[in-house]
Structure 1
Amino acid sequence: MNLTNDASVFSNLEKEYPLGSVLKTKVESVDQEHNVLNLTAKDKPITSFKDISVGDVVPAKVIRTRDSYVLLELGEGVLASSFITEALNDYSDKLQDIFSTSDICAAKIQEIDIPNNKIHVSLRTADAKDRYISSIDDLKKGDVVRGFVKNVADNGLHVALSSKIHALVRVSDLSDSYLKDWKQFYRVHQPVVGKILNAERKGRVLMTLKDSEVSGDANILKRFEDIAVGEIYEGSVRRITDFGVFVKLDGCNNIVGLCHHSEISDNKNTSDIQSIFAEGDRVKVKILALDEAKKQLSLDE
């Protein structure tokens, strides 16, 4: 990270700095115990908030990832965070799968909150799949967008469309079908696809997750034809029978597959499926087979 101020270089270090390249460096510190010199080639090291400005793109090292954010180091003792919507190009991904500890990436400074000693950055690139919602002005009625469940409340789901913009999905707008104990079908940080119903009042955004509303205008939801054997999905248990469990797949247009009791994890006793699963349980499944004619899926849990 101390190699250069140009964050783009880290995408292809071998090309930018082939073996034998000559570098002009400065000694930052000396590790007497291990006989190691700590060097920097930066002409403008980041040592405090004063060394950065909003809009700067700087190299950053991943310190850790959590379900909803990435913590990064911009310089010694200078930390920043990137909320999940600002970190991911594709909201179908998981932060832990994209970012690993000690990764170096390009971070764009979005906000410097001096009173609270916080720096917020974006890790998104130019080829981001999901568009970024920076303000309510970026939304209009009928837009289909993706976000992440921030809170499961009595009045519905509160969905984060970005770190600043949140939408409410009222209970009546959650699904076309009746969901008994609907709260069981949703969890915090779960990705969802919705259609904007109202974004006129500042701070008030209403959204629906009904497939009948969303699928007509979006290519975001996967159709049966888009699913392939071997793919892994998260989903919710919709029905439990003696012969298996029916699971509704996340991010798909009302697609439900059957996980036969013989395909349920080996470390679970499948003699009584009802004691293992409950309606609304969150599960991860793998596509085993597709029946194109009957539009049916076979799953492995």
Structure 2
Amino acid sequence: VNIGYKADGIITLNELSTDSTKKPKDLFEEGQEIDVYVVKLDDGEGNVVLSTKRVEGLKNWEQLVEKYENDEIVEAKVFKVVKGGLLASVLGINAFIPGSQVTTHFVKDLTPYVDQTLECKIINLDQKKRRLVLSRRVIEEKALEEKVNEVWEDIEVGKIVKGKVARLTDFGAFVDLGGVDGLIHVSDISWKRINHPKDVLSVGEEVEVEVLRANQERNRISLGLKQLTKKPFDSFLETNKVGDVVEGKVVNLVDFGAFVRLDEGVEGLVHVSEISHEHVEKPADVLNVGDDIQVKILDINEENKRIALSIKATTPAPEKEEVKKEVKKAPKKVVEEPAFENEDLNNTLGDLFDIDLEDIE
């Protein structure tokens, strides 16, 4: 290369371009004016050592500074995993991507990222120290934030939405609604009592749920699954009436009776007086939780959603032994009246005492 110096300049292959696959004829033509960087004025043989690669690097640094100031996205080609993160190349300049900035969640093994081209933002740049630090995480977080805002625009209390079960806990199921998680509390999964959400749901399952409550400031959404199914009491009313004998399971025992769960998931009460024809002191004396029993529906209170049941009404009452007692009648007393011959109501005292009054004289 003629640089107007006493000697021509030479550009070695390793100083040609940041792309090692390029050859001189791929980049330049004879007579073309180019910018070069003087590496050495004399290489020991009288030649001036030049570099187009370093010029390209300086121009690329200028581009990076401009992109950094304008908060623009750069493309980084990952070529190595190092302690604490990844090494990547941006416009031929080496850059570092910390492990915490690779994505929004912790990644133990970064090897799969090698040879990938990642869209990143420049979070630290120092041209003098040739330090360039990138982040892919900030781009993902911004995209997630935009997606979350879109989801929230579609969230309304009472609205039916679709989602995918993301994880299960003892207290409920978290559902991904497309970037925002909502919670189905265990009490809102089914009308029936369940021990754990996994009894009804599984991770990855797609579900339709109703939005029960939503608070965007706290980023909380309460969802309901059972609300999209018919209420058990309504189902019970459709298929049962007073007088029917139905199957049930004892679910709770209290001093005043036993609570029995019927097939529809509703619970009715068997009062202690309706357990047996014989006297029962406590329900636990004759029943156990988990017992399968037959009960008769005595009453249905639709307003209060209460059902009165009876066990003893499903069996006939035992016959009572009648004991006949003979009542002995006391004999009537016969009062005999004295008989007087020739009764004379004008009897005198003398007649009564058989005394001759004349003798007294």
Q: TM-score, normalised by structure 1?
A: 0.36
More helix by share: 2
Larger radius of gyration: 2
More strand by share: 1
TM-score by length of 2: 0.31
